[in-house]
Each structure stands twice: as structure tokens, then as C-alpha cells.
Amino acid sequence: MLQNGILQKRRCKPLDTLNQIRKRIDTYDRELIQLFEKRMEEVLQVLSFKKEHKMPIFQKEREEQVLKKAAENIQNPLFEAEAREFFEAIMRISRKLQAKLLFPYNIVLIGFMGAGKSAVGKELSLLLEMELIDIDAYIEREIQMTIADLFERYGEDYFRDREEEAVEKISKKKNCIISCGGGVVLREKNIANLKKSGKVIFLEAKAETIYSRIHDDTTRPLLKGHMTVEGIQKKLEQRESYYQRAADFVISTDHRTEKEIAQEIISLLCEGSFAVK
């Protein structure tokens, strides 16, 4: 008994110490969550202010500043990398929250091959922490075949049917960036589904720009044997009215980087209505 009693005491002591440490951690976590809430509320105030004054919503320079200040404020250099990671996560989360409030719908990118849909889609997805869905990549995954092989083996109509199914499914998602194949606008049903699901942005580019971007690419079946500025121009003209009809916004991508285009899309969409409660 006595021995047991002593044993129990010995076992209890380190446990007490652990419990005390955990209690202190719980207190810090309570403080952290309160601070986190306060910080997010301020972020929403900033968002409201920027919207009201038509300022760019997502500013990389400000994020750099926050990280720099965190590095300056840290006392124990052992945690420097972790502190950076912590603040990077906070900023990712606050970007995601802002995007969710600003864009409670899908952002749909349409336009000719080489107009920059994939590159701009990636940029938007990073900036807004929104999921990127590339319809061609989705079809390739579903069918386990590249688009080029699919065209070669089954022809364009078969591809368009698969594309229509994919659009129907993907349009049901929310808060995503959807990058479409260049010919998605050829079917009325696709346009209706995409417009219902979000805002449609037509990325426009001149035939010369498109040629300079994709002339080495052999994976575009519809340009096989027509990979010239004139060949592209001809197809562009056939498609122009379809793109215009489907678009909520038109953005020119000639001589511009994907970062600039993504920022312009955000600014254009932000002019729509939204309220921070």
C-alpha cells in the first residue's frame, strides 16, 4: 500500500506538471482565437473600405509587410520559420474569406485557344484561394485519354458531348475558377449552364498574340494544319459572336501578364454589389 502510495505520488508529479503546461497552452489558445477573430473582423473592415474607395483588394506588398513585421517582432529566433508559416497561413485564410464574400459564385474563363485561360485561372486560384477546375483536364481524367487522342479516335462531336456533360456537372459547383476549352461556347446549353453558375469572363487576344503563344504546340487538334496567323484569324472570326454573347465581361490579354489580367478581373467583379455584415 505504502509502496503503491509512493508510486502513485511519483507518477502524479510529472502528470501535474504536464497538466499545468497544458492549462497555460489552453489560455494562450483562448487568447489566440480571440485575437484571430478580432484580426478577421478588421480584415473585413479593410475589405469594405477598399471596395468603397475602389482600391485593389489583394495587395501582395501588404502581405510582404505583414511577414516582415512578424519577423521583426519575434523574440526567439528558433521559431522564425514557423512564425512566417503561421502568418502566411493567416493571410491565405483571410484571402479565402474575402474571396468567399466577394465572389459567392464561379468565375468562368472563356476564350480562344492560347488566350490565357489556364495561366490566368492559375493566378486567380492562387490569389483568391479558390479551387481551379480546367474542363479539358477534367475530361482527360474522366476518359483517361488526351484531348488530342480523343479527337483523333472519336472525332469532334464525341468530344463536344463529353464537354457538355462536364460543363453540366462542374457548373453545379460553387466558388470555383472554371477554365473552359476554347469551343465551349459553341453549344447553347453550355453557355446557359455556365452563365447560371457564375460570371463569365471572355479573355480576348489578337490572332498574332495567339500565334506567338501557341505556334509550337501540337496538342491542339482544331489547329492541325491551320497553325498560321491567318488560320487562327479565320477561326477567331467564326467564334467571336459566340464569345461575345456568352460574356459578362470582356478583357483583352494582348501584351499583358496573367497577374495584371487576374487583378483586372478582380476589380471588374468587385464593382458588383456585396456587403460586409
Which value, to the nearest 10 degrees, does the dihedral of the CA atoms of residues 254, 256, 258, 263 take?
A: -110
Residue 154 Cβ vs ligand S3P, minimum distance, rounded to whole Å: 13
Residue 122 Cβ vs ligand S3P, minimum distance, rounded to whole Å: 13
Q: Which residue has the cell 458588383?
A: 272
Residue 134 Cβ vs ligand S3P, minimum distance, rounded to whole Å: 8
Nearest to 111 by CA among 219, 206, 229, 223: 206
Decide whether 103 or 138 has the Cβ nearer to ligand S3P.
138
Are 111 and 205 a contacting pair, CB within 8 Å? yes
Residue 182 Cβ vs ligand S3P, minimum distance, rounded to whole Å: 3
Decide whether 13 or 224 has the Cβ nearer to ligand S3P.
224
The type of residue at 177 is I
Start-to-end C-alpha separation, the chain: 64
Are 277 and 132 a contacting pair, CB within 8 Å? no
The footprint of ligand S3P (CB under 6 A) covers 113, 117, 136, 147, 181-183, 220-222
d(CA 43, CA 95): 9
Residue 117 Cβ vs ligand S3P, minimum distance, rounded to whole Å: 6
Decide whether 56 or 221 has the Cβ nearer to ligand S3P.
221
Nearest to 112 by CA among 173, 197, 52, 202: 202
Decide whether 88 or 140 has the Cβ nearer to ligand S3P.
140
Residue 141 Cβ vs ligand S3P, minimum distance, rounded to whole Å: 14
Decide whether 47 or 170 has the Cβ nearer to ligand S3P.
170
Decide whether 183 or 198 has the Cβ nearer to ligand S3P.
183
Range list of H helices, the chain: 2-52, 60-73, 80-102, 117-128, 135-143, 147-154, 156-170, 188-197, 207-214, 229-246, 258-270
